[in-house]
Amino acid sequence: MTTRFENGIVVTLGSNNRVIWNGSVVVEGEKIVAVGDAAELKIRFPKAEVVDCAGKIVLPGFICTHHHFYSTMARGMFIPGEPASNFVEILERLWWKVDRALLDEDITLSAQIPLIECIRNGTTTVIDHHASPGMRDGSLDLIEKAVRQAGIRASLCYEVSDRNVMGGGVEENERFIKKIGKGDGQIAAMMGLHASFTVSDETLEKCVGIAKDAGVGCHVHVAEDLADREDSLKKYGMPVVHRLDKLGASGAKSLFIHCVHIDESEMDLIAATNTSVVHNPESNMNNAVGVTKLFELLKRNILVGLGSDGMSSDMLSQMRCGYLLHRLANSDPRVAFMEMPKLLLENNAEICERQFGIRLGELAEGRPADLAIMDYQPPTALSEANFLGHLIFGLVDATVDTTVCRGKILMQGKKILSMDEERIAARSRELAPRMWERLQAL
Ligand SMILES: [Zn+2]
């Protein structure tokens, strides 16, 4: 089947970004077969189905390179006792109870709800980091099923840690990595690890061995809080990145998440090993853990992507949050205008190329047909030269009307087509009180 998404403002992004007014993107199967002037493509593809995009802007689908679907049911939950006063307390009182309280259907719903939110926000690819020690084995299959039903792409892993049981999650990761193999372009697998301070050398070595044998990378939180750095210095006599590298967890396919509390020697090591970093500004602000030295990382040509860390599935809002954070943190209104859009639009695509083996983030012939089509009537001229101004100050507040992934329309006219949003939310409201009850007893 061939479809012309026509008469919109097409922004191709990619290395040769073009803004085409009255443009069309023609999709056949899972791929884009043409991008250009709407009138010309109407002549070339006269029999195609037509989706009118007048009054809209057509962009490549957005990518989130670090998410936690499992955090969904914590929304609105009452936590008894004094509020957590630091990062470790946030983990102990909240997240390490949430993940233990999740049972099978909770895991499915916890994935389905953010997947709906991804589609709502034009996010068509996610790299997720999952934990559910209360129902660990088979949990990645439940998430995979939800992702396939939703119709977006996801790289999945289970976060291994020794905090409940030694090596908890190693087998689940290994099993899933073997099942997925090289992947089909929709689902990929990684080796997940919680963080340096919750994994022993023995567990880490085991995970790295499995990852290397399968040719996948490690997805691990790195020095998100000072506590992780201090733990590594005290127990192993070296900072986190040096420890992870010594045991083989760095490399081009690995993702080091956060990297807030790392020193210059660690940055040099990340650069030398071609490891990617994922920055999560909104989460870092929420947990009050500090500010990643983004410009120091970029100066070393480190590939830095943008994630939401479970805060949201709206990647434009994450991008703008980082833009504002780094201006304030550096007391400099000249910075972050180029860098934050680059993290989202270019670097996330490059990170996904390393995971999925396909090039996303560009509307061009032969590229995957992943589209975010947003309501947007530019109030001023819009061209390649000033697109970022429209992105940061206009599109960030625009609504996604239509989302396409792998050539399939997942939402049209703001109606989710691939999932029953109302039923899923209602069932989640039904199960959440039971999950909260189990959590209070932990
Ligand atoms: Zn995280």
Half-sphere exposure of 360 (CA within 13 A, CB side): 36
Ligand 1 center–CA 319 separation, angstroms: 17
Which pLDDT belongs to residue 279? 98
Three-state SS string across 165-231, please?
CCCECHHHHHHHHHHHCCCCCCEEECEEEEEHHHCCHHHHHHHHHHHHHHCCCEEEEECCCHHHHHH
pTM, to two decimals = 0.98
Q: How far is the CA of 194 from the centre of ligand 1 (A)?
A: 8
CA of 309 to the centre of ligand 1 (A): 5
pLDDT score at 80: 80
Centre of ligand 1 from the C-alpha of residue 286, in Å: 12
pLDDT value of residue 79: 83
Strand, coil or helix: 381: coil
pLDDT tens-digit profile of 370-412? 999 999 999 999 999 999 999 999 999 999 999 999 999 999 9
Give the Å distance between the CA of 258 and the centre of ligand 1. Answer: 8
Ligand 1 mean position to 439 CA, how many Å?
A: 20
Q: Residue 441 C-alpha to ligand 1 middle, in angstroms? A: 25
Gap from CA of 219 to ligand 1 centroid (Å) = 10
Kindly report, residue by residue over 193-223, the tens digit of the pLDDT: 999 999 999 999 999 999 999 999 999 999 9
Taking the centre of ligand 1 as the mean of its atom positions, its distance from the CA of residue 125, in whole angstroms, is 16
Helices (H), 348-418: 348-356, 387-393
pLDDT score of 253 more than 90: yes
Q: What percent of the chain has pLDDT above 90?
A: 95
What integer pLDDT is reported at residue 374 of this predicted model?
Answer: 98
Q: Measured in angstroms, how far is the CA atom of residue 221 from the centroid of ligand 1?
A: 6
Instruction: Compute the distance from residue 90 Cα to the ligand 1 centre, in Å.
Output: 13
**Rounded distance from Cα 21 to ligand 1 centre (Å):** 39
Q: How much is the mean pLDDT over the chain? A: 97
**Strand duo 371-375 + 56-60: pairing:** antiparallel
Distance between alpha carbon 335 and the CA centroid of its chain, in Å? 24
Q: CA-to-CA distance for 245 and 204, rounded, in angstroms?
A: 11
What number is the average pLDDT over the span 339-352? 98
Q: How far apart are the C-alpha atoms of 43 and 28, rounded to whole Å? A: 16
Using CB atoms within 10 Å of the CB of residue 417, give its burial: 0 to 12 exposed, 13 to 18 middle, 19+ buried: middle
pLDDT at position 78 is 86
- C-beta neighbour count of 54 within 10 angstroms: 11
